[in-house]
Amino acid sequence: MNKSLETQRMEKIVSLCKRRGFIFQSSEIYGGLNGCWDYGPLGVELKRNLKNYWWRVMVHERENIVGMDGSILMNRAVWKASGHEDTFTDPMVDCRSCKARLRADQVIDRKDIQQCPNCGGKDLTAPRAFNLMFKTFVGATEDESSVTYLRPETAQSIFVQFKNVLEVSRKKLPFGIAQIGKAFRNEINPRNFTFRSREFEQMELEYFCREEEGIKWLDYWLEERLKFYENIGIPRAKLHAHEIPDEERAFYSKGTYDIEYDFPFGRQELEGVAYRTDYDLQQHIKASGKPLDYFDEETKQRFVPHVVEPSAGVDRTVLALICEAYDEDTAPDEKGKLETRIVLRFHPRMAPIKCSVLPLLKNNEQLVAKAKEIADLLRPHMNVFYDETGAIGRRYRRQDEIGTPFAVTVDFETLGEKDPALRNTVTLRDRDSMKQERVPITELVSILTSRVR
């Protein structure tokens, strides 16, 4: 069977992720655990850059947004009140022939005959509701009274702490509470690499506002979030704001958009931006009996704020960044012969390593000492990688493959051996254009920090 180009592209991406240490299968030596992934040395840097940038533009650069970090385990009452215990389900069917357990929407429907996508069998069970929350027990007794769940979203801890955060931060509407953290869903069919996982991270903002302004803030946040993806290197042409039609939206939502990206395996959701009205706060008011409301000093009115929620997936965005960055072009090898080059064209602010520092030769003490000195000079400002092994062309290629946007090379001119005017200058190579410029060492920190921020 001929694999489509996009399938081949995805296979190359998955293999690069493992080979270069971005993403590994969880518990790999024991055969893995379906739907769980570990981030290796480069993956963790990429993920951290994404989360830090989100925090910077969503919290630090805004006067009216504060952060919090809630616990993963919460009182079961939270999940009863939020509706998750009763309704956070996917319809699921079993194939009696091959025993596959499938999400009902994955069953093939041919002229009203339902078929298993696995074996083609037609003997399927009726759909049953399957709750996606992982159940666990708190404390030493394993009975109904000690049941709770791993949180399936981070949002609920924001709602239940709304009053505390409002009081300590003394914000006026509109204001937001942001959180980044793990969430867990027992997905029936984890698939597409990390795209649909059972353990993942979310970056969520709950933006509280007045009812009259709900739609205005929904539109505002949709645009802000689209800009965010552009600012991390995902072009607008590959992003789509899909408006969820009335009949598919949660009953309490007055407007929801999915921000989608063209992955190699199809157009899929990166983030949901939803106007959730006052539903969540009202549910927790009813269930807890506590007044989760807001007092307007000017009008002397008390009311429950409405909320707009941009909710993004860290892992899905990391995957989108890798898919978008993956490229192959040609570059000359050591002998000048053109060869295929794999290059990850990460936006410099996302790149796991910002700059490599390379002495031209390994066996020249002065070159090595100077290069190490430059690496130490840059290290407090960014993640750098010192590399002295192999031909210089091969070292560039290794960095291209992991998306390092800049390389500093220390050569004999740096030592002033050829032209005294070039003493203490280095070459700065650009990953994408492969062009080199000559810059003084004293200017390196300011040039590089301005390009990677």
Kindly state whether residue 239 participates in binding ligand ATP, applying the rule CB under 6 A: no
Binding to ligand ATP in span 281-320, by CB under 6 A:
311-313, 315-316
In this structure, are residues 231 and 350 in contact, taking their beta carbons and an 8 Å threshold?
Answer: no
Q: Which of residues 42 and 312 has its CB atom nearest to ligand ATP in the complex?
A: 312
Residues near 314 by beta carbon (within 8 Å), at least 6 away in sequence: 47, 50, 51, 180, 200, 201, 202, 203
| Closest CA relative to residue 324, chosen from 413, 403, 254 | 403
Question: By CB under 6 A, what part of segment 65-124 binds ligand ATP?
Answer: none
Interaction residues for ligand ATP, span 313-352 (CB under 6 A): 313, 315-316
409 binds ligand ATP (CB under 6 A): no
Q: Minimal CA–CA distance to 115: which of 48, 18, 106, 2?
A: 106
Near ligand ATP in 375-404, by CB under 6 A: none
Given 148, 156, 197, 356, the residue binding ligand ATP (CB under 6 A): 197
Of the pair 153, 206, the CB lying nearest ligand ATP is at 153
In the set 65, 95, 180, 270, which binds ligand ATP (CB under 6 A)?
A: 270
Q: What is the CA radius of gyration of the chain?
A: 26
- Which residue carries 């309704």 as its tokens? 87
Omega cis (within 30) before 348: no
Q: How far is the CB of 198 from ligand ATP (least distance, A)?
A: 7
Nearer to ligand ATP, 271 or 411 (CB): 271
Asked if 185 is part of the footprint of ligand ATP (rule: CB under 6 A), the reply reads: yes
**Binds ligand ATP by CB under 6 A, chosen from 200, 208, 346, 406:** 200
**Dihedral class, residue 89 (left if φ above 0, else alpha if ψ from -120 to 50, else beta):** beta
Minimum CB separation of residue 191 from ligand ATP in Å reads 10
CB 35 within 8 A of CB 198: yes
Question: If binding is defined by CB under 6 A, does position 271 make contact with ligand ATP?
Answer: yes
Binding segment for ligand ATP (CB under 6 A), chosen from 160-168, 266-274, 297-305, 380-388, is 266-274
Nearer to ligand ATP, 85 or 187 (CB): 187
Q: Which stretch binds ligand ATP (CB under 6 A): 75-83, 114-122, 195-203, 325-333?
A: 195-203
For residues 146 to 175, the per-residue mask of contacts with ligand ATP, x marking binding by CB under 6 A and - elsewhere, is: -------x----------------------
Judged by phi (left if over 0) then psi (alpha if -120 to 50, else beta), residue 289 lies in left
Give me the least distance between CB of 305 and ligand ATP, in Å please: 21
Instruction: Rank residues 306 and 316 by Cβ distance to ligand ATP and give the closer one.
Output: 316
Residues near ligand ATP (CB under 6 A) are 153, 185, 187, 196-197, 200, 202, 269-272, 311-313, 315-316
